[in-house]
Amino acid sequence: MVDPTQGLKNFHQKIPDGDERERLVCKDCGFIAYENPRIIAGAVVEHDGKILMCKRAIYPQKGMWTIPAGFLEQGEAPEEGAVREAYEEATARIEIIDLLAVYAVRHISQVHMMYRARLMDPHIEPGLESEDVALYDWADIPRKQLAFPSVHWVLDHYDKARGRTDFAPFGNPV
């Protein structure tokens, strides 16, 4: 995708008419270069009662464990992104079951959409962004080595939703 601001040098911070926030606005044409939160999609993937975990091979949090998740691509639905990330990080072929949680991570302007999923084929191996992948029994998940707060949140919410279909997606813990 082409950056709409590429080649335009006359941008400045200003509050556009009808808005309440400063935005980057082109002095020549009035184009507003909005900066919006980024969407992360991921899944808690289960197979035979075990949870798929990926050990990060990249920064931030290299060497720490996470669920398969990452940034959406342009034109991609969140469910598609979660499926793609599971394959990229663990060569895991998954089927989305339902939306488990939506988290607002304000300090880094991200929205995390997390799903429950099942592993369709037990063959997994590390992708380019993973040092290792494993299917963990619930009690053996390396909780002290989890990469991000949202991984703790989603695992806790997954546990609360186990065996249930009658819940609204979870949100940020209080």
Q: Assign residue 125 the CATH number of its domain.
A: 3.90.79.10
What's the CA gap between 102 and 115, in Å, rounded? 9
pLDDT band for position 1 (cuts 50, 70, 90): very low
Please report whether residue 8 resides in a domain. yes
Residues 70 and 11 occupy one common structural domain: no
Peptide bond into 60 cis (omega under 30): yes
Beta-strand relationship, 38-47 and 50-56: antiparallel
Residues 52 and 79 occupy one common structural domain: yes
The number of domains in the chain is 2
Residues 31 and 90 occupy one common structural domain: no
3-state SS, residue 84: helix
Tens of pLDDT, residues 5-58: 555 578 989 999 999 999 999 898 889 988 889 999 999 999 999 999 999 999
Residues 29 and 45 occupy one common structural domain: no
Please report whether residue 169 resides in a domain. no
Q: Which residues span the domain enclosing 29?
A: 1-35
Q: Are 58 and 129 spatial neighbours (Cβ–Cβ below 8 Å)?
A: yes
Q: Are 80 and 39 spatial neighbours (Cβ–Cβ below 8 Å)?
A: no
Phi, psi for 30 (deg, rounded to 5) = 85, 5
H or E segment and range at residue 133: strand 130-137
Residues 60 and 2 occupy one common structural domain: no
What's the CA gap between 140 and 81, in Å, rounded? 27
Over residues 150-160, mean pLDDT: 98
Tell me the whole-structure pTM to 2 decimals.
0.87
Structure tokens at 11: 């941008």
Tens of pLDDT, residues 66-90: 999 999 999 999 999 999 999 999 9
